[in-house]
Amino acid sequence: MTTAIAQGTFDILHPGHLHYLRDAAALGDELHVIVARRENVTHKAKPILPDAQRRDMVDALEMVTEAHLGHREDIFVPIERIQPDVIVLGHDQHHDEDGIRAALAERGIDCDVTRASPCEPRYEGELLSTGRIVRRILERRG
C-alpha cells in the first residue's frame, strides 16, 4: 500500500485545493493531509478559520483518508508517525524540496518529494486561491 501526504493551510477551501488533493491522492492508496496550525503559518497571512474547522473540512473530502493537525513545535512529527511513501507539495507552495529531502534523510524517513501540477482556471472568474477569495469578499462586501 502506498501512502501519500499533502499539507497546507486550507483556509477557505477552493478548486485549487481540490486539484492539489486529487493530484496527491492519485499518487497513493491512502492520502493523509496535514493541516497547518495557525500559529505555525509564517509565510503568509494567518488563517481566518480555526485549526479544527479547517481540518474537519479537509477530512470530509472524498479523496482524503485522514486529515491531521500539524504538530505545534515540529512539522516533521506527523510525517514520522504516518511514514509516507511520497510527500506531495502544492505546485506553488513556498517549500524548498531539497531542504525537505535533507530533513527527511536526517530523520531516517525514506520517501519521495514531488509537486502537484498547476491548476488552471476552468472558466472566467474562477478563484483558485484563498487570498483572491478574501480580496473579492472585501471588494464586494467590505
| Three-state DSSP class for residue 107 | coil
- For 10-25, the pLDDT digits (tens) are 999 999 999 999 999 9
| Residues paired with residue 87 on neighbouring β-strands, in sequence order | 5, 113
Q: Is 10 annotated as a binding residue?
A: yes
Tell me, what's the pLDDT at 34? 98
Q: Is 16 annotated as a binding residue?
A: yes
- For 52-71, the pLDDT digits (tens) are 999 999 999 999 999 999 99
Task: Let me know: does 97 contact 65? Beta carbons within 8 Å.
Answer: no
Q: Are strands 3-8 and 86-89 parallel, antiparallel or unpaired?
A: parallel
Q: Is 76 annotated as a binding residue?
A: no
CA 113 to CA 111: how far, in whole Å?
Answer: 7
We report the CATH number of the domain holding residue 12 as 3.40.50.620
Q: Is 14 annotated as a binding residue?
A: yes
For 16, counting Cβ atoms within 10 Å of its Cβ (0-12 exposed, 13-18 middle, 19+ buried), the class is buried
Q: Is 15 annotated as a binding residue?
A: yes
pLDDT (tens, 9 = 90+) of the chain, 142 residues, equals 999 999 999 999 999 999 999 999 999 999 999 999 999 988 888 999 999 999 999 999 999 999 999 999 998 999 999 999 999 999 988 889 999 999 999 999 999 999 999 999 999 999 999 999 999 999 999 8
Counting the structural domains of the chain, the total is 1
- In the DSSP assignment, the letter for residue 96 is -
Q: Is 9 annotated as a binding residue?
A: yes
Range of the domain at 38: 3-141
Q: Is 91 annotated as a binding residue?
A: no
